[in-house]
Structure 1
């Protein structure tokens, strides 16, 4: 019997092809029109996104992406490609490794054309998001299944689950911090996660049978419920508790906050407000972790490393450092290897 041919497909959100206005507009149009990102009725979403958000945000986004490109290039794509190559070397001939972006290039559409043409027996989908959210994991998986059906791809499909509380994930981030920073030298630690609209959390609570559909009345930051698909907020706080334990950080010395909001009705506390408050309260040195990202990108390097750092300094802070994501590190490879062993058939 011939050996089964397997393919591992890494999935991430995406990035524009360049910081040129046309490329940024194209990317934002595809991204923000996704019903899993802005979950409004079709007409309301089209009016809001194409008539208000993009026209008012595109020039600002071009400026931000230009700053990112000047220092780091197309960093999300570069680091994901490096991780893909490193995993391919690690797995040798056991499976092929590819990567695709939910929005932009390399596209999922092209990836599934290649997968069909190359004739694999088994496909492992690996969303590179530690915590589950409808605007990241869910939309990537739904698009994958749509393309499988559309293109008539015949193979067995497995999914790498969320890994927010995986021991190797926590240890990997901790190692990134301990090898580069003296953690005890910082006045405060911030765990900053990508924000979500509160309505996403309300939907999640309803879907998992939570007794309260409100965000204000929930206790997700205090405990992790044992649901198959849980609450993003609860998973973020659980990751933070595990990291704090691994790094011996007391509860009073760290804060969990959420960044990248589009409105006030998003998960709180907000990271930008938090860094300002920390400085005003006397913190001179702050260390920031971004545990909802496995690959460094605009939101980590620019938003935290540049914008929030500047706000911290304006409010009296002296030093704000950013712990790198796992990226293409040996720790990320070990994590991927471990996660795959739990889902790949023999």
Structure 2
């Protein structure tokens, strides 16, 4: 077996082990008990998650997963594995996959890499999240850093930064959308995963910019480095420019709301039934917060959102799949890894 001094880890969110309610409960408990997902004191979080949310949500979530489950398993896991294998073809160094929740875990993959490569000196971590949020990118990175420190591995862990405005990402994303613009459409909806507004305010290092300054996403600030809302706006604007999408045919919304706290607006679920009444009969929907299709895209958008839109009088609804394992996306990921291995720090989180 060849031993290597460098390795690559791709990291994504995670998925239940099966569509059985018990496995969905296990996944939801781990996910929602994360203090960066539900940022409440431990006791209140425990009461909410284990006493209210999971008992009432697990059955419905299991049913939603069954609608999209494949013979190979969870679409997110299957697609992420396929991406891992496609990227591996470009490197001699091992490319591994880690999920923030459930399996494969950071602890198990780090242990495997160091056992198989005793001379391992450098691990490049590429979180598959285009935008920074404490409930996605941050928790993923902090978890693997914790596991790395816990075992006192001698290797150095380097992390690729959020790539929401990266020229190669914007190009790959735009090209994945372009074929769907060839047919007549009334509007293209950029639907991003939502966040509680308090997450945006909490992540503002200045303490006085995000959601406090007029048009804050377009007013320069150090807060933008950690601002999910700003970064999603930038992605939408860059893609719209690359594809020459007219302003009147473009809208940005946020999906997947959980709980009663104020979340980012406008809401995808609230906007969809209103669009047909505004003359939007032919709708395209893309979800740029995700690079791999998952429950939030395949069930929430491609199935449920489509139903809501058509029932409200819409005539056609086209979900645009994530980049998944499209060759241009694989090439982009491989290019970033090569640049990092060749000494470039442009893509690294500082």
Shift in alpha-carbon separation, 1:218–1:22, aligned structure 2, 3 A:
farther
Q: Aligned equivalents of 1:161 and 1:126: distance in 2? A: 8
1:298 aligns with 2:282: no
Structure 2, unaligned stretches of length 5 or more?
344-350
Evaluate the alpha carbon distance shift between residue 4 and residue 63 of structure 1 in structure 2; reply closer, same or farther with a 3 A threshold: closer
CA contact (8 A) 2:165 2:238 kept: yes
Aligned to 1:134: 134
What secondary structure, in the 3-state scheme, does the structure 2 residue paired with 1:11 have? strand
1:191 and 2:190 aligned: yes
Within 1, Cα distance between the matches of 2:64 and 2:273? 21
Pair 1:260 & 2:256 matched: yes
Matches within 5 A, 1:272-287: 272-287=269-284
- Contiguous gaps of at least 5 residues in structure 1: none
Cα RMSD between the aligned structures? 2.0
Structure-1 separation of matches of 2:249 and 2:124: 39
Equivalent positions of 1:47-62 (< 5 A) are 47-62=47-62
For 2:88 and 2:255, locate their aligned partners in 1 and report how far apart those are by CA, in whole Å.
33
Q: Deviation per CA, 1:74-107, whole angstroms, max 9, x where unpaired? A: 110011000001111012x1x2100010001112
Cα deviation, 1:206-234, whole Å, max 9, x if unaligned, reads: x2x15335x36552344564557231000
Contact 1:168–1:335 (CA under 8 A) maintained in structure 2: yes
Are 2:117 and 1:104 equivalent residues in the alignment?
no
Contact 2:122 2:156 in 1 (8 A): yes
Q: Which residue of 2 aligns with 1:339?
A: 336
Q: Structure 1 length as normaliser, TM-score?
A: 0.93
- Given that 2:217 and 2:233 are in contact with CA atoms closer than 8 Å, whether structure 1 keeps it comes out as yes
Tell whether the 8 Å contact from 1:158 to 1:343 is kept in structure 2 after alignment.
Answer: no
Give the Cα–Cα distance (whole angstroms) in 2 for the partners of residues 17 and 176 of structure 1: 30
Any residues of structure 2 matched to 1:1-346 within 5 Å, and which?
Answer: 5-69=5-69, 73-91=73-91, 93=92, 95-118=93-116, 119=118, 120-179=120-179, 181-183=180-182, 185-205=184-204, 207=205, 209=206, 211-212=208-209, 215=211, 217-223=213-219, 225-227=221-223, 229-264=225-260, 265-345=262-342
**Shift in alpha-carbon separation, 1:313–1:145, aligned structure 2, 3 A:** same
> Cα gap change, 1:17/1:323 in structure 2, threshold over 3 Å: closer, same or farther?
same
Q: CA deviation at 1:200?
A: 0.4
Task: Measure, in 1, the Cα distance between the counterparts of 2:113 and 2:220.
Answer: 37
2:202 and 2:339 mapped to 1: Cα distance? 29
